[in-house]
Amino acid sequence: MSARIAVTGAAGRMGRMLIEAISQSDQAVLTAAVEHPSSSMIGSDAGELAGLGKNGVIIVDDLSKVLEQVDTVIDFTAPEATLANAVLCAQYSKALVVGTTGFETQQKAELQAMQEKLALCIAANYSTGVNVCLKLLEQAAAILGDEYDVEIYEAHHRHKVDAPSGTALAMGEAVADSLGRDLEKVAVYGREGQTGARDKETIGFATVRGGDVVGDHSVMFMADGERIEISHKASSRMAFARGAVRAAAWMAGQQAGFYDMRDVLGLN
């Protein structure tokens, strides 16, 4: 049976992609679509909005109006909106797939604490390729150990509002965990001026923003005489949307708890 899905942020860049990806999935069906109350798209047909032709799902302004008719909510909006939607999903016992990035540490903790009452999947990046990269990064860091300097580069389109990307941070966390380091203590977000020589433990991040870059990530392990790069380049948001729909179908009916894309893909 297909999982019944609600998409919040339906008129956003990812929202439209998600509506299209659901229409192509045999594991999921779109039964609700939600936008911010100020959106001019309230009352529009979600299929038409995504350029697919009418599908009969009308965009509403409040998730609580449609939660009875869904199994899983896919939320790619903004941190405050995602937190409010998580509270509703817990109340109605619906699974939640979170794609939103840019949470403050406190907001992330609040969201994670809801796993007691809520089947919650969070991934900074829902593409299958990036999740395979995360696994490779853990393995590479475990083998290479402290001898290699680790630096992370990421590039995104000019509209992205948070930096570094959630994916770059997830990559940093995968490496730091594997090396027994705390990313919050060793991360360096950009360098300028008289920085001094590189501190061995640090994991540096470099951010580029511009044009229509969907998402480039590269993690470099550098030693004297050699360099390894584990890179991923997304050329379409469809890579994220397909993965999130796969996660949403897998999450329907899961018990309360905290899941990520590696659980969905069986990589954990």
d(CA 72, CA 120) in angstroms, rounded, equals 10
Instruction: Select the span of 42-50, 120-128, 175-183, 203-211 touching ligand NAD (CB under 6 A).
Output: 120-128
Which residue is catalytic, options 160, 185, 200, 217?
160
* Distant-in-sequence, close-in-space partners of 216: CB < 8 Å, separation ≥ 6: 153, 154, 155, 156, 231, 232, 233, 234
Q: Quote the CA–CA distance of 118 and 16 in Å, as a whole number.
A: 25
Per the annotation, the verdict on 160 as an active-site residue is yes
If phi > 0 it is left, if psi is from -120 to 50 it is alpha, else beta; for residue 188 that is beta
Q: Of 12, 47, 172, 204, which lies in the binding site for ligand NAD, with binding defined by CB under 6 A?
A: 12
- For 12-70, what is the HEC assignment? CHHHHHHHHHHHHCCCEEEEEEECCCCCCCCCCEHHHHCCCCCCCCEEECCHHHCHHHC
| Identified binder of ligand NAD from the candidate list 2, 23, 27, 39, rule CB under 6 A | 39
- Closest distance between ligand NAD and the C-beta of residue 77, in Å? 4
Single residue of 74, 119, 126, 249 touching ligand NAD by CB under 6 A: 126
15/12 Cα distance (integer angstroms): 5
172 near ligand NAD, rule: CB under 6 A: no
* 76 binding ligand NAD? (CB under 6 A): yes
Q: For ligand NAD, which stretch binds (CB under 6 A), given 25-33, 51-59, 95-103, 190-198? A: 95-103
Residues facing residue 218 across a β-bridge: 153, 231
Residue 192 is given by DSSP the state -
Residue tagged active-site, from 94, 156, 217, 232: 156
Q: Cα-atom radius of gyration of the chain, to the nearest Å?
A: 19
- Which residue is listed with tokens 């992370």? 152
Indicate whether 11 belongs to the interface with ligand NAD (CB under 6 A): yes
233 is catalytic: no
Q: How far is the CB of 43 from ligand NAD (least distance, A)?
A: 14
Residue 209 as a binder of ligand NAD (CB under 6 A): the answer is: no
Among 72, 101, 131, 218, binds ligand NAD (CB under 6 A): 101
129 binds ligand NAD (CB under 6 A): no
Binding site for ligand NAD (CB under 6 A): 8-9, 11-15, 34-36, 39, 76-78, 81, 99-102, 123-126, 240
